[in-house]
Amino acid sequence: MKILITGSNGLLGQKIVKLCLKRGVSFLATSAGENRNQDCPSQFYQSMNITDVDNIQTIFQSFRPTHIIHTAALTNVDYCELNPEECQEVNVLATQKLWVEAQKINAHFQLVSTDFIFDGLTGNYKETDQPSAVSIYGQSKVDAESILIQSDNTNWSIARTIIVYGTANNLSRTNIVLWSIDALTKGAPMKIINDQFRMPTWAEDLAWGCIEICNRDKKGIFHLCGPELMAVNEIVFRIAKHINKSTDNVEIISSTTLNQPAKRPPRTGFDLTKSKLELGYNPKSLEETIEILLKEI
Ligand SMILES: NC(=O)c1ccc[n+]([C@@H]2O[C@H](COP(=O)([O-])OP(=O)(O)OC[C@H]3O[C@@H](n4cnc5c(N)ncnc54)[C@H](OP(=O)(O)O)[C@@H]3O)[C@@H](O)[C@H]2O)c1
């Protein structure tokens, strides 16, 4: 197995690199900028702009991966809402380019997708449920998925996930668990919504699932998230309880007061039956992962 990773500077990309190094899996890490992950040795890294087909061709032809795990994306939901053309170019058109080039070298192509493909009216989504996005970002992932789902070639997989958290090097943005630990420890004021429900996902569990799909030569759609559904404010309250910090400075608010450009699905969450059965996926609880994170911070 030779894995090419896109978006290796991102949170998930860094965890896939970490797991490949640990397991001795041959890999090439690629991302838009310079290598910002100091745990990824420079000989395993090349800059690759996924919107540039010549760049993709050169790197695919020289490395010749057996598997591509495509994590790179514009992931800021509000930025995508305000910049729909750029979102289309990076999340949809680049996926199309990567898929075309992957087929030329007979490589398995895995797209990492999101719970935001759903409208969030019911929750507990199965792989077979029909998408109905409520944002430009969500729709871009629906469109990227459709490129694979509608293809005659079935050598692809889609790994969908939900709010990913964990530590990594030089991330361009924080995540809810790291931010909460930091703010609660400092006693800083926090405003947290109580009307959106998610299954937060430890990045290392997700990375394990993405690689396991390749390892087991699985095809099709897989849901990979944390094991528990909770309101966003509950994430913060559980962290506070576990690390024994006060929530006096935590203010509960409704998402409607935020006036965010992009709509969010109120209740997502995945049914994990298929991933547990077919991959042996067994994600850790929030509290188990906080213990690990505290040692890493
Ligand atoms: N994080 C979440 O809560 C979450 C939830 C659901 C689904 N997902 C999906 O999971 C995947 C990974 O998420 P993440 O949080 O790890 O993302 P992330 O930390 O935002 O990283 C995304 C990476 O994509 C790279 N990238 C952006 N434009 C690129 C381009 N034109 N060419 C090459 N690389 C480019 C960036 O590279 P540089 O840093 O080098 O610029 C960045 O490191 C994404 O597909 C996302 O949609 C994430």
Res 173 pLDDT > 90: no
Q: What pLDDT is attached to residue 29?
A: 98
Give the residue-averaged pLDDT of 152-169.
97
- Model pTM? 0.98
SS3 content of the chain, % helix, strand, coil (to 5): 45, 20, 40
Q: What pLDDT is attached to residue 50?
A: 98
d(CA 226, CA 238): 15
Q: Cα(271) to centroid of ligand 1, in Å?
A: 24
Check residue 244 and give left, alpha or beta (phi > 0: left; psi -120 to 50: alpha). left
Q: Cα(75) to centroid of ligand 1, in Å?
A: 6
Q: What is the residue with the minimal CA distance to atom 45 of ligand 1? A: 71
Give the residue-averaged pLDDT of 193-213.
98
List residues near ligand 1 (CB under 6 A). Answer: 6-7, 9-13, 31-33, 49-51, 71-73, 75, 90, 112, 114, 161-164, 172
**DSSP readout, 189-223?**
-EEEESS-EE--EEHHHHHHHHHHHHHTT--EEEE
Tell me the percentage of the chain whose pLDDT exceeds 90: 98
Q: What rounded mean pLDDT belongs to the chain?
A: 97
The residue type found at 226 is G
> Which is the closest atom of ligand 1 to the Cα of 171?
19
Give the residue-averaged pLDDT of 168-186.
93
Q: What pLDDT is attached to residue 250?
A: 97
Mutate to test the pocket of ligand 1, among 12, 40, 115, 169 (most ligand atoms within 8 A of CB): 12
The residue type found at 119 is D
**Burial of residue 25, with CB atoms counted within 10 A of its CB: 0-12 exposed, 13-18 middle, 19 or more buried:** middle
| Structural domain spans, the chain | 2-167+200-227+270-284
d(CA 206, CA 203): 5
Residue 286 burial (CB count, 10 A): 20
**pLDDT tens, position by position, 78-108:** 999 999 999 999 999 999 999 999 999 999 9
**pLDDT tens, position by position, 121-141:** 999 999 999 999 999 999 999
What values do phi and psi take at 170, rounded to 5?
50, 45
> Per CATH, the architecture of 2-167+200-227+270-284 is what?
3-Layer(aba) Sandwich (3.40)
Name the pLDDT band for 297 (thresholds 50, 70, 90). Answer: confident
